[in-house]
Structure formats: structure tokens, C-alpha cells
């Protein structure tokens, strides 16, 4: 999936799918996935960073998401939540995040942005 992203139009769905594909590859299905998408505003594109950290977890089948979206100097939204894992295992579970990510991705190529998504699966 990552290789196919190079040079392609970046969408909010692509970012969320990448986060979920990474989460599904966590050892034992538990741990953290951190995804950041950043554009410095010089017209050269977006850098997407992905980090995974496995853990033993609590085995409770819980999950959580901390996220933020910044456009230029303006923080559009930052929030956190937690619950059962099936609240965080499908792109359709992230409607609020999709809207904010779509807003930053639609900005001019010279407008900097930062999207941060930190997904936890127990």
C-alpha cells in the first residue's frame, strides 16, 4: 500500500486505511500506530510517517484514538476517545476525522498542514 501511494493523490480515506492496515499487522493485534501527514507548504508534497509499537496490552479488546488536524497556524481540531476496539477498526468509524483531514488536504499546495493520528488497540 505504501509503495502505491508515491506520487498519488492523497485522500483522507487513504490515510485512515493506511493506519488500519498497520494496526492489523501489530504483533498479537495489540499496540500503537502513529501516523503523521505533514506538508511544509513549499509545493513539494506531503510527507507521511508511520510508526508501530507492539505491546502485550490488557487483552480487553479496547481501543482509542488521539488525533489533531492543523492548517497553517490554525488548529482545526484535537480530540481523544476510547472504547471497545470495534469502534476503531473500520474507516467508516472515523467520520469526524475524515471531515477535518479532507479540509486540510483540500488547502492550497503552499499552505502547510499537519495531521496526527495515534491509534491504540488493546
* 5 — pLDDT class (breaks 50, 70, 90): low
- Residue 25 is classified by DSSP as T
User: What does the mean pLDDT of the chain come to?
Assistant: 91
Kind and range of the H or E run holding 51: strand 47-54
pLDDT in tens, 85-113: 889 999 999 999 999 999 999 999 999 99
Q: What is the CA radius of gyration of the chain?
A: 14
Confidence at 33, pLDDT banded by 50, 70, 90: very high
C-alpha cell of residue 67: 488525533
- pLDDT per position as a tens digit, 20-29: 999 999 988 8
CA 37/CA 15 separation, integer angstroms = 8
**All structural domains of the chain with their residue ranges:** 2-121
Residue 4 has pLDDT above 70, yes or no: no
Q: List alpha helices for the chain, DSSP H.
A: 2-5, 12-24, 95-105
- pTM for this predicted structure: 0.90
> Which residue in this structure is represented by grid cell 488536504?
105
With pLDDT > 70 as the criterion, what percentage of the chain qualifies? 93
Amino acid at each position: 500500500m505504501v509503495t502505491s501511494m508515491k506520487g498519488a493523490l492523497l485522500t483522507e480515506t487513504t490515510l485512515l486505511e493506511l493506519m488500519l492496515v498497520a494496526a492489523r499487522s501489530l504483533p498479537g493485534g495489540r499496540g500503537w500506530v502513529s501516523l503523521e501527514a505533514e506538508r511544509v507548504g513549499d509545493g513539494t508534497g506531503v510527507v507521511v510517517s508511520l510508526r508501530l509499537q507492539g505491546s502485550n496490552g490488557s487483552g480487553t479488546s479496547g481501543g482509542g484514538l488521539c488525533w489533531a488536524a492543523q492548517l497553517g497556524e490554525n488548529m482545526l481540531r484535537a480530540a481523544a476517545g476510547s472504547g471497545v476496539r470495534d469502534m476503531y477498526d473500520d474507516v467508516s468509524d472515523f467520520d469526524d476525522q475524515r471531515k477535518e483531514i479532507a479540509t486540510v488536504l483540500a488547502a492550497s499546495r503552499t499552505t502547510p498542514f499537519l495531521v496526527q493520528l495515534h491509534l491504540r488497540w488493546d
